[in-house]
């Protein structure tokens, strides 16, 4: 299960949002989502507790400029703090 979502970032123009997740001993196997301009983007992430914590969500918003985002782990009901990133 996801314990927290941290360090959301993006390379400007890429539309790719990367973030790190902290999981408990059981790991995670769930969908993560972010909503930007009323459009939701989702990626399924499967991690066990020993995996690299990096995960990502690809969007079609490359070049959209700065946006406040919140990443949500749907099954664990965890979310990141709002972060301003440059898409």
d(CA 49, CA 68): 29
Q: Domains for the chain: give ranges and CATH numbers.
A: 2-86 (2.60.40)
CA 24 to chain CA centroid, nearest Å? 17
- CB atoms inside a 10 Å sphere around CB 82: 10
**pLDDT, position 24:** 94
Q: What is the pLDDT of residues 35-70, one digit of tens each?
A: 999 999 999 999 998 899 999 999 999 999 999 999
Cβ–Cβ under 8 Å, residues 68 and 80: no
d(CA 42, CA 56): 9
**pLDDT, position 19:** 97
d(CA 24, CA 77): 14
Q: Where residue 31 falls among pLDDT bands split at 50, 70, 90?
A: very high
């Amino acid at each position: 299960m996801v314990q927290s979502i941290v360090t959301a970032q993006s390379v400007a123009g890429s539309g790719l949002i990367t973030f790190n997740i902290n999981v408990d001993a059981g790991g995670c196997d769930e969908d993560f989502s972010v909503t930007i301009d009323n459009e939701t983007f989702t990626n399924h992430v499967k991690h066990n507790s020993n995996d690299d914590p990096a995960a990502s969500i690809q969007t079609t918003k490359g070049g959209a400029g700065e946006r406040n985002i919140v990443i949500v782990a749907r099954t664990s009901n965890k979310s990141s703090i709002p972060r301003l990133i440059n898409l």
